[in-house]
Amino acid sequence: MSNTALLQIQRDLANFKKDPVPHIEVELLDSNILECHFIFKGTENSLYAGGYYHGKIVFPRNYPSKPPAIYMITPNGRFPVNRSICLVSISHEHPSEWWPKRTLSSMLVSIFSFMLDYDNWIHLGGLRTSKTEKKKFAAASLEFNLNDPVVKTLFPDLYEEMEIKFDALLRIQRDLENFKKDPVLHIEIERLDSNIHEYHFLFKGTENSLYAGGYYHGKIIFPNDYPFKLPVIYMITPNGRFSVNQSICLMSISHEHPSEGWQKWTISSMLMSIFSFMLDYNNTRHEGGLWTSEREKKKFAADSLKFNLNDPVVKKLFPDLCKEMKKIDAARRNNGTSKKLTIRFFGRKNGLSDTFKKDSSYFSGMFRLIKLFKILKSSSEEESPRAAD
């Protein structure tokens, strides 16, 4: 290895440490100074949010005259793993495009930019995977990196951060399993397959409440930085108690109040608290609630069936409850439609008619009254000639 290569690598690393790039960490391997390892932290609002991606840059002995080889190690859905990535101008796949004055910082920024440009996968040495697959890779990256001794050695702070997040995810999954073993009356919950941080729930309105007969869909989203940040809670089904598709402000269990000792809460206790707040519809000021009349709440309950049966997430996660809602909706329709009798009163020769639809019991009573009237009229006519005589 030439002194030029050694000096260039050390100088670039020192400059990177002085002026670090957000979401990127880099270290040299102690046993091989020509091997530089990096970790990308997935940016918020991207398909990589919550993910940690380990890779390496292997410099040739005649660096910087010749370009390095770049590898991704953590499965990511954007680049192949443990294979040289073909990136124009910064990899050994395109030596004619290499510019010797490129720095370590500029190379890492370019790789990360290419990674985030997941729509352009053909020309930048990429893989083609779905959005759902990329999100799953992001979630799985924690456990993958925690089993990587190089990550543990070179990035101890990030390793500890990943451990905390992974333990938090395990706790959420454990909470869900415990909820399934010991379910709470009137509450159902399921995890969204495409996002391990998103949990959906359904509340069934209790009898003798303004929500009786209603089904209320909502979700809890645990942030990618959970447990460093708090979950966000939303109601999706219109209900008259909470705003829909807006973060609900509930003391101690939502991101609106980060200092209330929320770490002690489980999924079960969170759902019971939300449901309790919902049932306490007289206290709307302090719990992020709406004020609506009793009549409006009852109407929301009646309309919730149709609303939820048109929700694809509810259909997918709660098929049994959807069957239940369909039966109730059908029963309501049948009960609301009484047996009808149609009586036509025909006019004169033009055949015009008026059609009256009334309840059959009503017409039965009318027929009896008409019959009685005819009898009384007939009796009256028979008595009239006698009176004249």
Active site residues: 86
- Where are the extended beta strands (E) located within the chain? 24-29, 32-41, 52-58, 69-72, 187-191, 198-204, 215-221, 232-235, 340-346, 353-359
Structure tokens at 45: 């609002």
Burial (CB count within 10 angstroms: exposed 0-12, middle 13-18, buried 19+), residue 62: exposed
Query: Under a CB-based contact definition with an 8 Å cutoff, are residues 216 and 248 in contact?
Result: no
Q: What residue spans define the domains of the chain?
A: 3-148, 166-336, 341-388
Give CA–CA dist 38/154, Å, rounded.
9
Q: Give yes or no on whether 3-148 and 166-336 have one common fold.
A: yes
Lowest mean pLDDT among 76-85, 93-102, 232-241: 93-102
Q: Which two tokens stand for residue 381?
A: 């006519």
Residue-wise pLDDT tens digits, 309-336: 999 999 999 999 999 999 998 888 887 6
- pLDDT, one tens digit per residue, over 17-57 is 999 999 999 999 999 989 999 999 999 889 999 999 999 99
pLDDT digits (tens, 9 = 90+) for 159-211: 999 999 999 888 888 999 999 999 999 999 999 887 888 999 999 999 989 99
Q: State which amino acid sits at residue 181.
A: K
Strand order in the sheet with 215-221: 187-191, 198-204, 215-221, 232-235
DSSP state for residue 20 in the 8-state scheme = P
| CATH tag, 166-336 | 3.10.110.10
Asked which of 91-95, 129-133, 149-153 is least confident by mean pLDDT, the reply is 91-95
Instruction: State residue 16's pLDDT score.
Output: 94
- Cα 100 to its chain centre, rounded Å, is 46
Q: Which amino acid is at 338?
A: S
The pLDDT value given to residue 53? 98
Of residues 343 and 32, more confidently modeled:
32
Is the pLDDT assigned to residue 256 strictly greater than 80? no
Hey, CA dihedral for 250, 253, 258, 264, is it positive or negative?
A: positive
C-beta neighbour count of 218 within 10 angstroms = 24
**Would you state the pLDDT for residue 340?**
45
pTM over 0.75: no
Question: What pLDDT does 166 receive?
Answer: 92
Pick the CATH number of 3-148 from 3.30.930.10, 3.40.640.10, 3.10.110.10, 3.40.190.80: 3.10.110.10
Q: Are 69 and 45 in contact (CB under 8 A)?
A: no
